[in-house]
């Protein structure tokens, strides 16, 4: 039997799984890599032309929600978009694997697997990988990540600053409310820099516990602590020659800030259990939604660390500050999500109903771009005939309106109530629930608009 020319990477923390997978796959595919540490994924991808990654979703005892697998899936798709990812999961965790497929995984296999099913799935993935590699430069360029900028003065100024600073190695601090797109903005800086073909490593500092901070960021030597079974690079080393994005940097406890500052000042990192510093060539982009300067005044954030990370400081405006961008952004997000769900040529056929724009601009968007993405994704799933209605979007947030303000109770509200009443055959309870109103508030509006 002739082996297929393909390079497969298997990632799992159980040595018996790695051994079994290698024994099965090496009979059918040319090169099989295995690793029990997901932190080695990026270095393996950078040094080899990996066609398919078979990725387990859990790596730490007691943490079996699949979040780690989702995190590393995103890392792989960022670093090597052409690499195909297949998730491995236990039977009871299929829901998380399905979530992974939505954000870019090719398929999933259940553990313990059926050998024939495993080989069939990987064979299909290898074929898909070959299709990706055969794309013409024009098609490949079309598949590069698109960024929505907009026309508001504040966001244009932010992106203009990003393009200027991207050409340098200056550290950048991104400020903005939750959901304003700080991750996407950091990625934009990386993609427009000389480091764009090197790793972009995202670290959510808000989710790191104190006892994991050093081992995750700086790495550790074998035997440094009980579970340290192999030498492991931290996130800084993983980002070597590329960019490390330190998200939610305002959440670092004061006693750990000094250790981060030392790494940034010396441009070296020392793994736990070692004494020799390792040189770093890493560009740092940090972000926070907190008032970092007030934290400095309150002495909960080190002033010297702030100066180290904010050579360039960029503020991202909330959606409330860029209302003219709301409808174009919604259309952009709709197109992106339609493509993500593999609607193919149908992606461009999706649209919002004619009156949706007014409601989109009127809605408060407290969660900013992230909230908009979530609502549009949910609406696309619920919508019929490729048209998304205001009801699908769930943005009839009339409780945001002051009931004593006559000017805010517009004709649009009357139309929406009429539609909801018709939809539910006059059922007050169901209509009120859909509109997000109490029964009493709905009755008052029915009387006001003479809809009896």
- Under the banding of pLDDT at 50, 70 and 90, the label for residue 4 is confident
Distance of CA 274 to the CA centre of its chain: 33
Cβ(251)–Cβ(206) under 8 Å? Answer: yes
More confident: 412 or 403: 412
Percent of the chain with pLDDT over 70: 88
Reported as a single tens digit per residue, the pLDDT across 192-209 is: 999 998 999 999 898 788
Q: Which fold has domain 321-448?
A: Helicase, Ruva Protein; domain 3 (1.10.8)
- Percent of the chain predicted with pLDDT > 90: 40
Report the interhelical angle of 210-218 vs 254-266 (nearest 10°).
10
Closest CA to 280 of 291, 269, 296: 269
Q: Please state the rounded mean pLDDT for residues 444-450.
A: 79
- Which CATH fold topology does 153-317 show? Rossmann fold (3.40.50)
Distances (CA, A) of 322 to 282, 319, 325, 353, 370: 33, 5, 6, 22, 15
Can you tell me the mean pLDDT for 363-367?
Answer: 92
Is residue 417 within 8 Å of residue 431, measured between CB atoms? yes
Q: Is 394 exposed, middle or buried (0-12, 13-18, 19+ CB in 10 A)?
A: middle
Mean pLDDT score of the chain, rounded to an integer?
A: 84
For residue range 245-297, list pLDDT tens digits in order: 999 999 999 999 999 999 999 999 999 999 999 999 999 999 999 999 999 99
Give Cβ neighbours of residue 396 (< 8 Å, ≥ 6 apart).
Answer: 359, 390, 416, 434, 435, 436
Q: What crossing angle do the helices spanning 411-423 and 439-448 adopt, rounded to 10°?
A: 120
Position 429 confidence tier, pLDDT thresholds 50, 70, 90: confident
Given pLDDT bands bounded at 50, 70 and 90, which one contains residue 141?
very low
DSSP, collapsed to helix, strand or coil, labels residue 121 as: helix
Query: What mean pLDDT comes out for the span 211-231?
Result: 86
Reading the block at residue 196, the tokens are: 């764009």
Lookup: tokens for 436: 């997000």
112/65 Cα distance (integer angstroms): 18
Distance CA 131, CA 414 (A): 52
Q: Judge whether residue 37 has pLDDT over 80.
A: yes
Domain spans, the chain: 4-134, 153-317, 321-448
Distances (CA, A) of 47 to 43, 54, 281: 6, 17, 17
Pairwise CA distance, residues 45 & 76, whole Å: 8
**pLDDT value for 339:** 79
Cα separation, 413 vs 205, whole angstroms: 43
Task: Give the residue, 133 or 436, on which the prediction is more confident.
Answer: 436
| Confidence class for position 452, pLDDT limits 50, 70, 90 | low
CB 54 within 8 A of CB 122: yes
Give pTM, 2 decimals.
Answer: 0.62
Give the model's pLDDT for residue 178: 93
Domain spanning 4-134, CATH architecture: 3-Layer(aba) Sandwich (3.40)
Q: How far apart are CA 450 and CA 432, in angstroms?
A: 17
Lowest model confidence (mean pLDDT) among 331-345, 417-431, 437-451? 331-345
Structure tokens that stand for 54 in this block = 């078979």
Q: Are the beta carbons of 192 and 181 closer than 8 angstroms?
A: no
**Domains 4-134 and 153-317 alike in fold:** yes
In a 10 Å sphere around its CB, with 0-12 CB exposed, 13-18 middle and 19+ buried, how is residue 372 labelled? buried
């Amino acid at each position: 039997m002739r082996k297929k020319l393909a390079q497969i990477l298997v990632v799992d923390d159980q040595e018996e799984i790695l051994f079994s997978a290698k024994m099965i796959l090496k009979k059918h595919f040319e090169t099989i890599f295995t690793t029990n540490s997901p932190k080695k994924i990026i270095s393996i991808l950078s040094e080899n032309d990996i066609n398919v990654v078979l990725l387990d979703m859990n790596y730490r005892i007691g943490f079996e929600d699949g979040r780690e697998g989702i995190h590393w899936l995103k890392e792989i798709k960022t670093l090597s978009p052409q690499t195909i990812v297949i998730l491995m999961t236990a039977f009871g965790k299929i829901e998380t694997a399905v979530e992974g497929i939505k954000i870019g995984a090719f398929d999933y296999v259940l553990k313990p697997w059926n050998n024939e099913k495993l080989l069939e799935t990987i064979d299909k993935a290898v074929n898909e990988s070959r299709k990706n590699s055969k794309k013409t430069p024009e098609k490949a360029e079309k598949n590069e990540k698109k960024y929505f900028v907009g026309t508001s003065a504040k966001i244009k100024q932010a992106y203009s600053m990003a393009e200027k600073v991207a050409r340098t190695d200056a550290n950048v601090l991104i400020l903005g409310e939750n959901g304003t797109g700080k991750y996407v903005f950091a990625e934009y800086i990386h993609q427009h820099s000389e480091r764009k073909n090197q790793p972009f490593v995202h670290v959510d500092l808000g989710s790191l516990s104190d006892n994991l901070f050093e081992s995750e960021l700086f790495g550790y030597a074998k035997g440094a602590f009980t579970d340290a079974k192999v030498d492991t690079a931290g996130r800084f080393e993983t980002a070597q020659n590329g960019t490390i994005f330190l998200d939610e940097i305002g959440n670092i406890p004061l006693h750990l800030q000094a250790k981060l500052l030392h790494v940034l000042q010396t441009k070296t990192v020392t793994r736990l259990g070692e004494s020799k510093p390792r040189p770093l060539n890493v560009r740092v982009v940090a972000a926070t939604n907190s008032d970092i300067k007030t934290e400095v005044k309150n002495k909960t954030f080190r002033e010297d660390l702030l100066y180290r990370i904010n050579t360039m400081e960029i503020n991202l405006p909330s959606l409330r500050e860029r209302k003219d961008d709301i409808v174009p952004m919604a259309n952009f997000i709709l197109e992106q999500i339609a493509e993500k769900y593999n609607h193919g040529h149908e992606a461009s056929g999706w649209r919002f109903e004619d009156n949706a724009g007014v409601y989109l601009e009127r809605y408060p968007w407290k969660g900013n771009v992230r909230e908009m993405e979530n609502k549009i994704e949910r609406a696309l799933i619920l919508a019929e005939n490729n048209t998304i209605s205001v009801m699908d979007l769930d943005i009839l947030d009339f409780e945001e309106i002051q009931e004593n303000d006559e000017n805010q109770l517009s004709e649009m509200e009357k139309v929406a109530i009429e539609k909801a009443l018709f939809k539910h055959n006059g059922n007050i309870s169901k209509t009120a629930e859909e509109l997000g109103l109490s029964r009493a508030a709905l009755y008052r509006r029915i009387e006001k608009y003479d809809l009896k």
